[in-house]
Amino acid sequence: MSSLLERGERVGYQRTSFIFGKRIETGFSPSNLVPFDTSEECDELLRNGTKKGGISGAFLEIPYLRLFLGQYCNTYKMVEEPFNVDGFGFVFPIGSPLVADVSRAILKVAESPEATRLQRAWFKKKEESCPDPDTSPDPNPYVTSRQLGLDSFRFLFKVVFVICIMNLGYFIFCFLLKTGGKDLWGELKKTDDESYINRVEKCSCSSKQQPPDDTNSQAAKPDENR
C-alpha cells in the first residue's frame, strides 16, 4: 500500500463500502480512488491499468475479496496483510428481545460445521483450473509471498553484463595500444614483470651448514709443547 501511495497510483474500492473513508485516512487522494460495483468491473479496471484509465490495485472486504479471488484466482493475488477495521455489526433498538436470539444463533453457526458448509457453498472456486482452498489450503491465507526468480534479477544481470563488456573492451584497448597490434601471441606468453607474484624475490639464505669458527677450535685444542 505504501508503494501505491508514493507513486500516486489509482486504486479501486467497493462503492457501497466503508473502504473509501479508510483510504482517505491513510493518505489516498479522492481523485485516485475509483469505485466499482461488481467483480467484473473490478477485473476490467485492473486489466486496463492506470495508463488506460483503470487501477493498479483494489481494496475489498475479506468476504468479497475471497469471492473475487475464487473467480479470478489465475490472474490476481492478495499481496498485503488486511488492515484492521471495526468489523460487521447488527443494530437493534435498546431492549429488543432479538439481541439474545441473534447472538445465540451467530455463536451456534460459528461453532458448528455449518459455517464451513456455508463457506464452501458461497466461496468455492468458479474455475476448474483454480486451486480449491479446502483441498489445498494456503498456510498463510492473508499474505501471498512474492517468490524471487530469475526475472527478479533481470536488471541486475544486465548491469553486470554491461560492466563486464566494458572492462573487457578496456583491457583489449590497452593491450593493443601497448603492443601496437604486433606479435600478439608473444606478448601473451611474455612474463608480466609488474605482477606481484613475479616481483617476489627468492630467499637468499642457504641451507648449507657454516664451517665452525677457527678461534673456538683453537681454544679447544690441547697445548702440544707441554
Summarised one tens digit per residue, pLDDT across range 150-168 is 667 788 888 999 999 999 9
Res. 143 pLDDT band, cuts 50 70 90: very low
**Percentage of residues of the chain with pLDDT beyond 90:** 4
Cell of 156: 541486475
Strand partners, 175: none
Examine the pLDDT at 24 and tell me if it is beyond 50. yes
How confident is the model at residue 212, as a pLDDT?
Answer: 53
Q: Which residues are 34's β-sheet partners?
A: 12
Query: Does residue 145 carry a pLDDT above 50?
Result: no
What is the strand order of the sheet 57-59 is part of?
A: 33-36, 11-14, 57-59
| Rounded Cα gap, residues 59 and 101, in angstroms | 33
pLDDT of the residue at 99: 83
* Mean pLDDT, all residues of the chain: 71
Put simply, whether the predicted model's pTM sits higher than 0.75 gets the answer: no
The predicted structure's pLDDT at residue 81: 57
Q: What is the pLDDT of residues 65-92, one digit of tens each?
A: 878 887 887 788 777 655 655 556 777 8
**pLDDT > 70: what percent of the chain?**
60
For 85-130, the pLDDT digits (tens) are 555 677 788 888 888 888 888 778 777 777 777 766 666 554 444 5
CA distance 102 to 88: 14
What's the confidence (pLDDT) of residue 226?
47
